[in-house]
Amino acid sequence: MRQAGILAAAGHFALDNNINRLSEDHKLAKSIASAVFAVAPNVVDPKTVDTNIVGLDLTGLSIKASDLAAQLKENGILASALGPTYLRLVTHMDVTAEDIEKVNQILPELLQRSFVA
């Protein structure tokens, strides 16, 4: 790989300038997990969220991950469907506490609508 130095420089910059922000990203991710857990405890356990990635297991709900991702996108929230029943949300330095408040309001509402009776 000839361009390894460019990738290394980006990693070096991130470690030098953004490492302090990482704990905030982890806190925001756990906040999402806690909001989801309050309405759908089988979807995610906040105790297992230790990084900036929140994985939701939608098994048992009447909504596919791709449909939930589309509904979130309609509300200005980006998430990735990684299979029919797995949705991933990621916090990062461009996601604010206000953004997470919005996620924590909208995502649980959408999940409640998808409970299998």
pLDDT at 3: 74
Burial of 10 (0-12, 13-18, 19+ CB in 10 A): exposed
For each of the domains in the chain, give its residue range(s) and CATH number, in order of start: 22-113 (3.90.1150.10)
pLDDT at 15: 80
Task: Give residue 116's pLDDT band: very low, low, confident or very high (50, 70, 90).
Answer: low
Q: What percent of the chain has pLDDT over 90?
A: 76
CB 76 within 8 A of CB 100: no
The predicted model scores a pTM of 0.87
